[in-house]
Structure 1
Amino acid sequence: MGGSNEMERQKNMMKENIISKSTKVASIIAASLILSATTIMTPPSLAGDMGASLAGNAKITTGGASTLQSGRTIAITRGVNLDNSNFAGQNLRGVAFQQSIVRDTNFKGTNLVGSSFFDATVDGSDFEGADMTLANVEMAQFNRANLKDAVVREMYVSGATLFEGLKSIENTDWTDTMLRRDQQKYLCAHPTAKGTNPTTGVDTRESLMCLD
């Protein structure tokens, strides 16, 4: 009789252990699923999305441009059309408009530090007062673009960057932007190559190292 009770007790203990282990496994799986759902479904903070959650910037969040900032989806663009967009006065630090068509777009007073316009067409776009420090403009095309009062320090420029046809470079600061000799010559000869940048206080012609 005593042996029978002992066997029954051991069976009950085994059942309890199995149930306990199953519960732990289920809890771990449930926690993993909750964590995954939270990671996928949690929307980006409006305070840190650089204004890209606004309706006017919908193309940025849907692949019209990408960002180098952490916590944001990297969506490398290939020929996306962003013509006539309005990003005036916004913080687009690190956003990449590479290989996009960004004509007649308003970037007036926009923070574009570290942004990329690699192989982009920005014809007729307004960068007046924008901060383009460390921006990558390799192979970009600036026909009719307005750079008045812009800070264009330490930009990445290639020999294929086209500045021909620029509307204005008045009061721009080109400090430490490495230009090819023919690019420098063209910019120094531009009728608007004059003035002092209102943000940095640097003379435009001095920043271009014009020989005059």
Structure 2
Amino acid sequence: AARALPSAAASLPDRAASLAAALLLASSLALSPLPSSAADNGATDVSNQKITTGGASTLQSGRTITITRGVNLDRADFGGQKLKGVAFQQSIVRDANFRGADLTSASFFDATIDGSDFEGADMTSVNLEMCQLNRANLRDAVVREAYVGGTTMFTGIKSIEGADFSDTYLRADQKKYLCEHPTAKGTNSVTGMDTRESLMCKN
């Protein structure tokens, strides 16, 4: 699994610098391993800072990716940003703005994303295992082929109107909850898929 550079790391202009940073990461982890989980009193507070190629980067298959493991991103603004493959795992991401963002293959494993706004975001193949989506807004989001575990909690979700859940496997109780949600209606503006059809609701 990819490991995160300290959040204070500067943005790296080229791959050579990225490689140097990755080597620094390996040595720093040997001395001080990252915490296994994110808590309010332990996560690094970088709220409202934009994540591009820096902040916390490493190399994977020859390309730079961004990791934010164990980071406090409460109320951060990622609206419209390209965040493909970014790992927000075990981070605190409450009331953040992801409207219209490209979150393809991003990971929110064990992250706190209560109240975050994903309206119109591309969440294809996103990892939502162990997430709680209380107050989260998935209106018009593309949530195709997403990884949803049995510990993913949709209880209290704000809206799924127009969301496309095609090819996302849901447990029977999760599917029932979403199909009975008052916002389970509408058509996705990008894929043209009906929300209830994508969830395979009975009626």
Give the paired residue count.
163
Q: Does 1:126 align with 2:117?
A: yes
CA apart distance, 1:56: 3.2
**Higher strand residue share:** 2
Deviation at 1:61, TM superposition (A): 2.6
1:150-201 CA-to-partner distances (Å, cap 9, x unmatched) read 0000000100001111000000000000000000000000000000000000
Structure 2 distance, partners of 1:154, 1:75, is 22
Does residue 99 of structure 1 match 2:90?
A: yes
Q: Structure with the greater relative contact order (CA < 8 A, sep ≥ 6): 1 or 2?
A: 2
Q: Cα RMSD over matched residues?
A: 2.7
Pick the aligned partner of 1:173 from 149, 164, 182.
164
Contact kept? 1:138, 1:156, Cα under 8 Å: yes
CA distance in structure 1 between the aligned counterparts of 2:96 and 2:147, rounded to whole angstroms: 21
The code of the aligned residue for 1:132 comes to M
TM alignment of 1:103-114, pairs within 5 A: 103-114=94-105
In 2 relative to 1, CA 74–192 (structure 1 residues): closer, same or farther, beyond 3 Å?
closer
Q: 2:55 aligns with which of 51, 56, 62?
A: 62
CA distance in 2, matches of 1:142, 1:66: 28
Aligned counterparts of 2:53 and 2:92: Cα–Cα separation in 1 = 13
Question: Measured at CA, do residues 66 and 185 of structure 1 come closer, stay the same or move farther in structure 2, by a change above 3 Å?
Answer: farther
Q: Give the unaligned 5+ runs of structure 2.
A: 1-14, 21-47
Cα offset, 1:42, TM superposition: 9.1
Structure 1 residues 32-71: aligned runs within 5 Å: 39-40=16-17, 56-58=49-51, 61-63=54-56, 70-71=62-63
- Of Structure 1 and Structure 2, the greater helix share is in 1
Larger Rg: 1
What is aligned with 1:188? Answer: 179
**Contact kept in structure 2, 1:87 and 1:108, CA below 8 Å:** yes
Cα displacement (A) at 1:76: 6.1
Query: Structure 2 length as normaliser, TM-score?
Result: 0.73
